[in-house]
C-alpha cells in the first residue's frame, strides 16, 4: 500500500516561499501543498507601473552566476522574458564630493585587477593609492588567526582606510546596507580571504584573474576583459553584464510562480501564522489569524526574526538562535522626471555613496538607463536607497521628508527639476546582516541548520542564512524541497 499524500505547508509567500513551494510541487507531485501569506505575494519583490514608468519596489536584478535563480526562471518558461542590463549602462559610479566618478575598469568590489585605470582614477588620493599598493608586500594573515574578520578590519589591514571608506564600504557594505565594522567577510566575500591566502595579495590575485579571463576570452593580458561582456571570470567592476531582470520587472517572476502554483496548490492570501507546535498527529499544527492548519511538514520562508516568533513555543532554543541574526530597515524612493528636468543624469546603471560623504542616499539606480523598458521615451527614472544598518534613523520621517532629502542629495550630483511623481516603499527589518558577532554568521547558521536538521518535516528558507539575493533563496528552496522530500520518503 502506498503512503498517503503528505500535506506540506509553506509559511511566507515572498520569492523564497514561492520558489520553495514550486520546488516542492515538482519534487513531490503527490503532496498536498498549502502556502499562506500575510500581506502580498512576492514579499519585498514587486513592481508597479505608473504613467508608463516601471517601478521596482524592492529588488530589480538577478545575478546570473548563481545558477538557481536562472534555473527557476528557465523552469518557469520565462527565459525569453529575461532582460540584460542595457549595454551603454554597464558600469557604475562612486560619489566623491560633488562628482560621480566611474568605477575604474578592472576594479572588483574592493581590489583593482588593472593598475593603469586605477592609477588614473581620482577615486582615491595618491597616499590612498600608495597605501593600497602595500597589499603587494604585506604578509598574509596567519593561519592561527581564525576569528571571523569584519569587512572594516580586513580592508584596513590589506588596502588601507581610504580604500575602505571610498570603495569597499559603499560597494560591498552597500549590498547588505551593512555596517562594515560588523559585516563578516567570511560570510559575504570569502573569495577575498581565499585570494589573500593563495596569492598573498588581493591585487596580485585580481591581476591573475584578469589575465585568466583575458586568456579564456581568447584575448591578451592587455586586452579588454570582463565588464561589458560579463563573463563569469570577469574582473571588471561590479560586472553589470551579469545582472538580469525580466521584461516588465521582477513582478513577472512572482506572477508566474503564483499562476503555476495556483493550478494545484492551495494559495491563501491574508493568512498570518501566529505560532507553530508539534501536532498530535506527529506533524505540525500552525495557528493562524484564521484558524489552525495541520501539516506533515512545514517550510518557514520568512525573515529570521519572523521565523523566531513563530517557533518560540515549538523550539525556544532555535527561536533564540534565530533572533541573533540582526536585520536592517531600508526604503526605496522612485523618482520620475521629464528628461528636460533631469539633464546630465549619467548613462550608467547607478552609483553608490560612501558613508564619509554624510548623505542620506546610500545608492541610486538610474533605472531608465539600466534596463530598456523602465521609462517612456523622453523621461528619466531614478531609484534611491535610504536607511541601512547605520542610518535607520533616516527613515524616521514621513514620505515627503524622505523624498525631499533624496532630492537635496541627488541635486548635489546633477541638475534635477521637480519630479513628475515619487513613490516610497519602506522595508522594515528586511535586510539581514551577516555579522561577525558571536563567533560569526557562518557559525551561527551552522548551529541553526543543525537544529533544523533535528526537526523532522521542517525547513527554514530565508535571507538570514546563506545569501540575501533571489538566486540564493531559489537555491535554498531547492534544498528545502529536497530535505522535506527525503524525510517523507525515509
Binding residues for ligand FAD, how many (CB under 6 A)? 38
| H/E run at residue 215 | helix 202-216
Task: Assess 350 for contact with ligand FAD (CB under 6 A).
Answer: no
Q: Which of 34, 45, 334, 422 binds ligand FAD (CB under 6 A)?
A: 45
Task: Assess 59 for contact with ligand FAD (CB under 6 A).
Answer: yes
Q: Which of 38, 193, 356, 479 binds ligand FAD (CB under 6 A)?
A: 38
Would you give the DSSP letter of residue 150?
Answer: B
Q: How far is CA 446 from CA 331, 439, 477, in A?
A: 30, 11, 17
Closer residue to ligand FAD, CB minimum distance, 155 or 384 = 384
Binding segment (CB under 6 A) for ligand FAD, from list 41-49, 104-112, 276-284, 406-414: 41-49
Q: How far is CA 307 from CA 8, 300, 301, in A?
A: 17, 6, 8
Binding segment (CB under 6 A) for ligand FAD, from list 153-161, 297-305, 350-358, 395-403: 297-305
CB of 166 to ligand FAD, least distance (A): 23
Task: Assess 31 for contact with ligand FAD (CB under 6 A).
Answer: no
Asked if residue 61 lies in contact with residue 245, where contact means CB atoms within 8 angstroms, the answer is: yes
Closer residue to ligand FAD, CB minimum distance, 238 or 419 = 238
Edge-to-edge strands, sheet with 291-295: 273-278, 284-288, 291-295
Q: What angle do CA 371, 373, 375 make, to 5 degrees?
A: 100
What residues contact 229, with CB distance under 8 A and at least 6 apart?
217, 241
d(CA 153, CA 88): 36
For the beta carbon of residue 97, count every other beta carbon within 10 angstroms: 10
CB of 387 to ligand FAD, least distance (A): 9
Task: Assess 272 for contact with ligand FAD (CB under 6 A).
Answer: yes
Q: Is 232 exposed, middle or buried (0-12, 13-18, 19+ CB in 10 A)?
A: exposed
CB of 44 to ligand FAD, least distance (A): 4
Task: Assess 245 for contact with ligand FAD (CB under 6 A).
Answer: no
| H/E run at residue 92 | strand 92-96
Closer residue to ligand FAD, CB minimum distance, 65 or 115 = 65
Q: Which of 39, 50, 120, 449 binds ligand FAD (CB under 6 A)?
A: 39
- For residues 289, 307, 473, 148, the Cα torsion angle rounded to the nearest 10 degrees is 160
Binding mask of the shown chain, residues 158 to 187, with x at each position contacting ligand FAD by CB under 6 A = ------------------------------
Task: Assess 237 for contact with ligand FAD (CB under 6 A).
Answer: no
Q: Which of 21, 159, 261, 330 binds ligand FAD (CB under 6 A)?
A: 330
CB of 49 to ligand FAD, least distance (A): 18
Task: Assess 11 for contact with ligand FAD (CB under 6 A).
Answer: yes
d(CA 30, CA 24): 10
Sequential DSSP letters for 134-145: GGGTSPPPPTT-
Q: Which of 21, 37, 167, 239 binds ligand FAD (CB under 6 A)?
A: 37
Cell numbers found for residue 174:
552597500
Task: Assess 14 for contact with ligand FAD (CB under 6 A).
Answer: yes
Task: Assess 335 for contact with ligand FAD (CB under 6 A).
Answer: no
Task: Assess 430 for contact with ligand FAD (CB under 6 A).
Answer: yes
Q: Which of 192, 427, 458, 465 binds ligand FAD (CB under 6 A)?
A: 427
Cell numbers found for residue 482:
529536497
CA 401 and chain centroid, separation: 26
Task: Assess 306 for contact with ligand FAD (CB under 6 A).
Answer: yes
Task: Assess 283 for contact with ligand FAD (CB under 6 A).
Answer: no
Asked if residue 134 lies in contact with residue 151, where contact means CB atoms within 8 angstroms, the answer is: no
CB of 246 to ligand FAD, least distance (A): 12
77: left (phi over 0), alpha (psi -120 to 50) or beta: left
Q: Which of 28, 35, 60, 402 binds ligand FAD (CB under 6 A)?
A: 60
Binding site for ligand FAD (CB under 6 A): 11-17, 36-40, 43-45, 58-62, 272-273, 301-303, 306, 310, 330, 332, 427, 430-431, 462-463, 468-470, 473
Amino acid at each position: 500500500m502506498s503512503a498517503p499524500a503528505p500535506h506540506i505547508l509553506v509559511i511566507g509567500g515572498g520569492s523564497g516561499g514561492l520558489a520553495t513551494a514550486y520546488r516542492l510541487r515538482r519534487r513531490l507531485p503527490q503532496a498536498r501543498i498549502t502556502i499562506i501569506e500575510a500581506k502580498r505575494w512576492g514579499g519585498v519583490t514587486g513592481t508597479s507601473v505608473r504613467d508608463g514608468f516601471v517601478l521596482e519596489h524592492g529588488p530589480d536584478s538577478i545575478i546570473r552566476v548563481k545558477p538557481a535563480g536562472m534555473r527557476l526562471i528557465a523552469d518557469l518558461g520565462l527565459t525569453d522574458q529575461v532582460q540584460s542590463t542595457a549595454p551603454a549602462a554597464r558600469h557604475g559610479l562612486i560619489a566623491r564630493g560633488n562628482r560621480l566618478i566611474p568605477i575604474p575598469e578592472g576594479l572588483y568590489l574592493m581590489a583593482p585587477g588593472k593598475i593603469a585605470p586605477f592609477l588614473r582614477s581620482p577615486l582615491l588620493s595618491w597616499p590612498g593609492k600608495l597605501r593600497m599598493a602595500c597589499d603587494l608586500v604585506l604578509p598574509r594573515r596567519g593561519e592561527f588567526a581564525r576569528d571571523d574578520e569584519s569587512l572594516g578590519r580586513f580592508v584596513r589591514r590589506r588596502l588601507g582606510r581610504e580604500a575602505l571608506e571610498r570603495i569597499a564600504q559603499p560597494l560591498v557594505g552597500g549590498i547588505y546596507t551593512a555596517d562594515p565594522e560588523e559585516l563578516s567577510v567570511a560570510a559575504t566575500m570569502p573569495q577575498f580571504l581565499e585570494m589573500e591566502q593563495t596569492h598573498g595579495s588581493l591585487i596580485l590575485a585580481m591581476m591573475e584573474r584578469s589575465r585568466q579571463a583575458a586568456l579564456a576570452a581568447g584575448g591578451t593580458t592587455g586586452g579588454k576583459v570582463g565588464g561589458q561582456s560579463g563573463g563569469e571570470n570577469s574582473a571588471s567592476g561590479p560586472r553589470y553584464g551579469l545582472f538580469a531582470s525580466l521584461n516588465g520587472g521582477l513582478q513577472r517572476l512572482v506572477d508566474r510562480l503564483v499562476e503555476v502554483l495556483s493550478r494545484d496548490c492551495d494559495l491563501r492570501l491574508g493568512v498570518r501564522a501566529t505560532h507553530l507546535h508539534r501536532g498530535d498527529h506527529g506533524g505540525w499544527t500552525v495557528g493562524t489569524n484564521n484558524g489552525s492548519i495541520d501539516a506533515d511538514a512545514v517550510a518557514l520562508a520568512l525573515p529570521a526574526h519572523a521565523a523566531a516568533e513563530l517557533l518560540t513555543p515549538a523550539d525556544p532554543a532555535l527561536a533564540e538562535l534565530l533572533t541573533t541574526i540582526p536585520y536592517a530597515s531600508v526604503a526605496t524612493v522612485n523618482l520620475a522626471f521629464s528628461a528636460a528636468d533631469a539633464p546630465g543624469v549619467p548613462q550608467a546603471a547607478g552609483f553608490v555613496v560612501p558613508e564619509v560623504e554624510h548623505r542620506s542616499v546610500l545608492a541610486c539606480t538610474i533605472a531608465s538607463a539600466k534596463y530598456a523598458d523602465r521609462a517612456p521615451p523622453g523621461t528619466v527614472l531614478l531609484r534611491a536607497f535610504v536607511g541601512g544598518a547605520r542610518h535607520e534613523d533616516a527613515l524616521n520621517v514621513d514620505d515627503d521628508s524622505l523624498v525631499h532629502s533624496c532630492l537635496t542629495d541627488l541635486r548635489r550630483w546633477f541638475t534635477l527639476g521637480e519630479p513628475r511623481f515619487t513613490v516610497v516603499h519602506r522595508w522594515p527589518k528586511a535586510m539581514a546582516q551577516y555579522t561577525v558577532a558571536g563567533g560569526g554568521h557562518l557559525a551561527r547558521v551552522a548551529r541553526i541548520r543543525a537544529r533544523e536538521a533535528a526537526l523532522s518535516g521542517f525547513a527554514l528558507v530565508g535571507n538570514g542564512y546563506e545569501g540575501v539575493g533571489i538566486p540564493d533563496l531559489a537555491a535554498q528552496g531547492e534544498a528545502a524541497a529536497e530535505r522535506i522530500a527525503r524525510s517523507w520518503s525515509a
